[in-house]
Amino acid sequence: MELTINNIDKHFGEKEVLRDVSLTAKSGSALGLLGRNGAGKTTTIRIVMGVFLPDKGTVCVDGKPIDRSKIRIGYMPEERGLYPKKRIDEQLIYLAMLRGMNKTDARNACGKWLNRMGMGEYQQKKLETLSKGNQQKIQLAATLMCNPQIVILDEPFSGLDPVNAMLLKDVIKEMIAGGAVVLFSSHQMNYIEEFCDSIAILNGGKIVLEGRIADIKHSYPRDKIAVASGQIEQIAPFVLQHMSGEVLSAEKDKDNQNTLMIRLQSSDSKAKLLACLSEGGFDVDAFRVCEPSMNDIFVQYTEAGI
């Protein structure tokens, strides 16, 4: 399955919220939908779900306009939407039936997903009696009960402790492996790097960057090399002397005193640097190209909106 958003515009009164937004998300992978607050992420999500209609453009599945009566969509909003004073099983079954499940299937799905989340013993409890992290797991169970083909997760890890975060990670990876289209929105860039193959960054209501994370990172200059060794005090003057004119600088990493950051005149000199270290007889623990982090990329493409 392939979900495509084609040339979407959206206004609210005089305010332009989205302008010519296009992106593609494919089955069996996750797309990170990124942007600062107010960039248009939530509006984009709501257009996919059919809550808002676009002023221009289309939402398609496999090249045809989306038929939401046939495509199952699971949405986990950043602001949780369950009823705190209602029994957990009753409201999950009710929500599943609103999506078209009969009561028997909804009850079975409720038991299955609550058990999967380690929450089976609480199904007759009121939601308000649970911790924030456990309420988060109930919200995810509600999202996945209809076995969605498109899963939209908005800040799913907010407020989770490490154990519950690990459980949530496993469930999300299962959905991706099972062939779901996953849209993943978060300001926690470590999760974006862990789950997403591709990203689309919104800034000021338009897409300013889209593509595979690996390709985006590879497009940056690859002239900064990190060398980990217990001999960096000897390595620095050696490479500066033996690769004069090709090494611009060799300085300790401020965060790791056993790592030397070497800036090359050209990325073409990587192989020569590695050979130089070998010829010097140095004990090198690691040699890697320093790529920008997702946080670096996010700031670069969104700081104009600050």
pLDDT value, residue 124: 93
Nearest by Cα to 224 from 253, 245, 255: 253
DSSP H/E element including 275:
helix 270-279
Nearest by Cα to 282 from 270, 273, 271: 273
29 three-state secondary structure: strand
Q: What is the dihedral of CA 234, 238, 240, 245, to 10 degrees?
A: -170
Mean pLDDT of the chain: 91
Amino acid at 185: S
Q: Which tens digit of pLDDT belongs to each residue from 32-45?
A: 999 998 889 999 99
CATH 3.30.70.100 placement within the chain: 221-290
> Could you give the percent of the chain with pLDDT greater than 90?
66
Question: Strands 29-35 and 198-203: what pairing?
Answer: parallel
Judge: domain 2-217, CATH 3.40.50.300.
yes
Q: What is the chain's percent helix, strand, coil content, to nearest 5?
A: 40, 30, 30
CATH 3.40.50.300 placement within the chain: 2-217
The fold for domain 221-290 equals Alpha-Beta Plaits (3.30.70)
* 80 pLDDT more than 80: no
Q: What is the mean pLDDT of residues 96-104?
A: 91
Q: Which tens digit of pLDDT belongs to each residue from 263-274?
A: 999 989 999 999
Q: What is the mean pLDDT of residues 156-174?
A: 85
Q: Which tens digit of pLDDT belongs to each residue from 189-221?
A: 888 988 899 999 999 999 999 999 999 999 998
**Which two tokens mark 33?**
């939908």
